[in-house]
């Protein structure tokens, strides 16, 4: 697991690409843990950016909702 803070749009895009790679990760595995940590980091980054026009449910909420549905 190579996790680092998300400070730039490039960092954000890399984190999103990694989430895509890990999407089917099994909870409780190193990959599942990495997916969970990335979701938190992405949510933090998104909440600190300039407001953008996003439906009431943002990307972080959508990711966490899907993770909860999959038992992550």
* pLDDT value at residue 50: 61
> Which residue ranges make up each domain of the chain?
9-69
- pTM score above 0.75: no
* pLDDT value at residue 47: 86
Sequence-separated (6 or more) residues with CB below 8 Å from residue 5: 11, 41
Q: How far apart are CA 3 and CA 1, in angstroms?
A: 6
**pLDDT tens for each residue of the chain, 72 residues long:** 788 999 999 999 999 999 999 999 999 999 999 999 999 999 999 888 866 555 566 777 778 877 888 887
- C-beta atoms surrounding 60 within 10 Å: 17
> Which tokens belong to 10?
């490039």
> Which tokens belong to 2?
């190579």
Tokens 């969970």: give the residue. Answer: 36
């Amino acid at each position: 697991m190579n996790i680092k803070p998300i400070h730039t749009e490039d960092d954000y895009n890399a984190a999103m690409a990694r989430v895509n790679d890990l999407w089917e990760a099994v909870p409780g595995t190193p990959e599942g843990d990495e997916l969970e940590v990335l979701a938190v980091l992405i949510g933090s980054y998104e909440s600190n950016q300039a407001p953008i026009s996003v439906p009431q449910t943002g990307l972080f909420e959508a990711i966490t909702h899907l993770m909860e549905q999959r038992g992550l």
